[in-house]
Amino acid sequence: MPKIEIYTTAMCPYCVRAKMLLQNKGMSWEEIRVDLDRDRLQEMLKRSQRRTVPQIFIDDFHVGGFDDMAALDARGELDPLLGIGEHEAPVHALDHSEDAPT
């Protein structure tokens, strides 16, 4: 599994959406609360050159915020970054039970 770092704050709907997207893909991550730690906030500003949260890094690659990650996903470019290949799809992606005749 890749190393995923997410800089967040407590009140942050975009952070929640980012974590939901990654959770749906079966990922885990390190969450860095920049509202609780000024040093880590400075680190986020320096690494990302951005002031908004979330800021997401996958194996040290700066993805950006939630919108950036969602756009990558829509282009089919997020799964390869996460190491999700054809044979590693999360279980829910293989669940065709709703297609079964009733």
Ligand X SMILES: N[C@@H](CCC(=O)N[C@@H](CS)C(=O)NCC(=O)O)C(=O)O
Binding site for ligand X (CB under 6 A): 12-14, 51-54, 65-67
Of 27 and 45, the one with the shorter C-beta distance to ligand X is: 45
Q: How far is the CB of 60 from ligand X (least distance, A)?
A: 19
| Closest separation in Å from C-beta 42 to ligand X | 16
Which CB, 4 or 65, lies closer to ligand X? Answer: 65
For 6-75, give the DSSP string: EEE-SS-HHHHHHHHHHHHTT---EEEETTT-HHHHHHHHHHHS--SS-EEEETTEEEESHHHHHHHHHT
Q: What is the Cα–Cα distance from 100 to 102, expressed in whole angstroms?
A: 6
Q: Which is nearer to ligand X, 65 or 72 (CB)?
A: 65
| Smallest gap from residue 1 Cβ to ligand X (A) | 23
